Structure 1
Amino acid sequence: MILFPAIDLKEGHCVRLIRGDMAQATVFNDDPAAQAAAFENQGFSWLHVVDLDGAFAGKPMNAAAVEGILKATGNPVQLGGGVRDLATVEAWLTRGVRRVIIGTAAVKNPALVREAAKKFPGQIAVGIDARDGFVAVEGWADTSTLHAHDLAKRFEDAGVAAIIFTDIDRDGALGGVNWDATIALANATSIPVIASGGVASLADITKLASPECAGLEGAISGRALYDGRIDPVAALKILADARRERAA
């Protein structure tokens, strides 16, 4: 069970949004590389990075910040935002990103996911961002008519490494994870699912460590780590204890 600290990039800064609204961006650090190093020093083993500007533009927009992050941390990085073609996938993996997340293109060009997963096994994730159960695209600006479960099932046999599932209405709002929807998705697919959106307290971490969530690969947390609602040491201990209990 992995807790992924999040770095969302907007104009080179480390920010958090509320429900994906770019007008409600709070800058938490002007130096994303320093933030990445801080997360590693706190004991985290992975890093979740999103190029927010790229998600809207349809191409990478914060490359310099991402490269700074990659140089600053030895932790594996999963990256999404603006990934719309195989060349972009390959470019990020060549630069050192461990796992590339395909979101909008998974809806509009599912063949890209299949091609990328075949060419780069274990290094492709699908981002499923849902509003009332339906997948949102283009930086969450548009909502499709495709249900999250249907999108997940589309890639059952594609070799996708993980699905990152975000309930948009919970993201950045510190209201808790939509556990029902997340667990239902995990139960509906054989692809490992990572929970995102609303991880707000140690109670959420305790829930993540519970047997009910054993089918999840982990969860992503952003704002609650930045503002101190979640203590990294305590959170990582809860998850480590749960892993030991399951292994016993």
Structure 2
Amino acid sequence: MTEPLLIERHADRVVATLNRPDKRNAIDQDMIDELHALCGELEADPRTLILAGSDTVFAAGADIAQLRERRAEDARRAINATAFIRINELPMPVIAAVSGYALGGGAELAYAADLRISSPTLKIGNPETGLGIMAAAGATWRLPEIVGHARAAELLLTGRVLDADEALSWGLISAIHPVDGLLEAAHAMADRIAANDPRATQHTKRALRASRDQHPDIECELQAELFESDEKERRMTEFLQRRAKR
């Protein structure tokens, strides 16, 4: 059997490539289990996560053969939703490098990332209602946060699929890169993240994820911790020294 995730580990990042080519990277229970295991690793040893698929398909959805057999108790277990929430809550940023089809659960996995970039071949959306179910792994609450309620409602209620240009104009992705340069662009983004203070990055992600009623208190408390850090002192001292030499 092929591994559902191909994992490439580095000191400051991990690349996880969805790997069910015969099923168009459909998300099944084995892949969910692997994602949970990877989350456990990255919770213990925080690093940036890059999620990728193939050149032609990120993930064409959840595995329909498995979905057809699921019943009410399975829905209440929130099988995919729980994994995607855990991905979104990882300490360090998550980058989704999406090429080709990202539909249904594949789209919801991309929505769970902090940063999304794509190739020009992107096709992203949630056609679940056409299959007699709904998008229930985060799309109904996460997508409005990304693109606004009106646009989220259009996608989820009509099953419309966006291409790359539409996704960019809607703010669903932040950039479009050539297919053969997409992973390189994701690494360049991870490089910029790695150049910054990891603790400041983690605190910024916490503040970004916090609800509006937690602000500005959460920012003040997180900033208070950073103001006392040795890394802040070191980085600011180096900045002032460089400026003095100009």
| Structure ranking higher in helix proportion | 2
TM > 0.5 between the two? no
Q: What is the TM-score when the length of structure 1 is the normalising length?
A: 0.33
Higher relative contact order (CA 8 A, sep 6+): 1
> Which one has a bigger Cα radius of gyration?
2
Q: What is the TM-score when the length of structure 2 is the normalising length?
A: 0.33
